[in-house]
Amino acid sequence: MNRDLFLRIHSAVETHDDYFVQKRDTNGRLGLSSLQKITAAIRMLAYGVTIDLIDEYVRIRESTARLSMKKFVKAIVSIFGGEYLRSPTSNDIARLLEVGQRRGFLGMLGSIDCMYWKWKNCPNAWKCMYSGHVNEPTIILEAIASYDLWIWHTFFGLPGSHNNINVLDRSSIFAALAKSRASLCNYTINGHEYTMRYYLADGIYPSWATLVKTIPTPHEKERKHFAACQDSGRKDVECAFEVLQARFAIVYGPARYFQPEVLKDIMYACIILHNMIVEDERHLYFGANQFNYEANDDTPSEPISHDNIPEFMEFIAQHHRIRDRGTHSQLQADLIEHLWNMHGRA
């Protein structure tokens, strides 16, 4: 990350947690500075090195480096989580829809997929529960990313014995849509009107109205072109995972901590820092400076209510509309024709 961004994080963390403030001991000698503690934590996140290697660089004890790491990730989530782990605002949605329309996918907000993080120090009593198709304990991260690698949705913590469908069933990604609290999105493709946004997904995901999957073995040229465009758009989330792991090697290598809560803080802190770097460097991307994502929302947040505002039958009906296979098939067919017409005009 750039120096200015690092200093911004350093100042915010030092103000938030008194642990990072440099103090004097009983003999009046100065202790470790905040730069030493924060640098040790960031190096552990970025390089995935063990604690004993930090001592050679910043002259810090192993126990202090371990504690600095835990307190640093907690501070990052507490300070910046509301801004950099937020759902898209109405302004963000408008920009994402415009980008999707330019790419031929009207109503598309991004792509969804899961990443598996190996848990090296998983307790023996939990290994069977956390072991999946890789036969090793893993923890799953579900994420949605846009074209500029910004990660909009995160759901982390389910055991690796689950698959993408199980994670989707437990995720809150469509909770607001099911409660009819999501902003409306009306668009027309080939004369058919649609009201729900969707995400690009791979073949394991179910055929829902809010997901657009590829065609496994296309034969016609129109279907082949659609599969190529869908695969290209779906690579956004995979590229985001690759960049996240390249920037923070701690989530690329095996997790060495024992507590799931610590791993959750580490994963969320890395995603927050990733989004901060994306925001800071977006002007370097081609065309990305046209879409500056801001935390401000022109739609006021709804107050929490304990009344039965959404009717139960309406909730069930909306739930079925989200999972409607007929709408999924119709949307896929319309997108095939729409993309082919765009290709023909080009």
Determine the pLDDT at residue 299: 43
Q: Is residue 221 part of a domain?
A: yes
Determine the pLDDT at residue 91: 86
Cα distances (angstroms) measured from residue 192 to each of 22, 51, 162, 331, 343: 63, 58, 36, 9, 20
Pair 189, 40 in one domain: no
Q: Is residue 57 part of a domain?
A: yes
Q: Is residue 241 part of a domain?
A: yes
Domain termination site, one of 62, 84, 106: 84
Backbone torsions φ then ψ of 188, nearest 5 degrees: -125, 130
Pair 52, 163 in one domain: no
Determine the pLDDT at residue 262: 94
Q: Is residue 302 part of a domain?
A: no
Total count of residues recorded for the chain:
346
pLDDT confidence of 186, banded at 50, 70, 90? confident
Q: Is residue 161 part of a domain?
A: yes
Pair 134, 191 in one domain: yes
Cα 205 to its chain centre, rounded Å, is 17
Determine the pLDDT at residue 344: 64
pLDDT digits (tens, 9 = 90+) for 193-205: 998 899 999 989 9
Domain termination site, one of 84, 105, 122: 84
Determine the pLDDT at residue 334: 93
Side by side, the strands of the sheet bearing 151-159 are: 151-159, 138-145, 108-118, 198-201, 211-213
Q: Which residues pair with 198 in a beta bridge?
A: 108
Pair 12, 103 in one domain: no
Q: Which residues pair with 17 in a beta bridge?
A: none
Residue 285 has pLDDT above 70, yes or no: no
Q: Is residue 299 part of a domain?
A: no
- The token duo for 146 is 């846009």
- Total of domains in the chain: 2
Pair 181, 275 in one domain: yes
Pair 10, 128 in one domain: no
Q: Name the pTM for this structure.
A: 0.88
Q: What is the mean pLDDT of the chain?
A: 87
What b/e string do you get for 35-49 counting C-beta neighbours within 10 Å, with b at 16 or more? Answer: ebbbbbbbbbbbebb
Pair 98, 22 in one domain: no
Pair 62, 133 in one domain: no
Q: Is residue 301 part of a domain?
A: no
Q: Is residue 278 part of a domain?
A: yes
Pair 77, 110 in one domain: no
Question: Which residue segment(s) compose the domain that 75 sits in?
Answer: 3-84
Q: How far apart are CA 266 and CA 255, in angstroms?
A: 10
Pair 63, 212 in one domain: no
Pair 41, 117 in one domain: no
Mean pLDDT of all residues in 290-310: 47
Pair 166, 242 in one domain: yes
pLDDT confidence of 306, banded at 50, 70, 90? very low
pLDDT digits (tens, 9 = 90+) for 228-283: 999 999 999 999 999 999 999 999 999 988 899 999 999 999 999 999 999 998 77
pLDDT digits (tens, 9 = 90+) for 109-144: 999 999 999 999 999 999 999 998 778 999 999 999
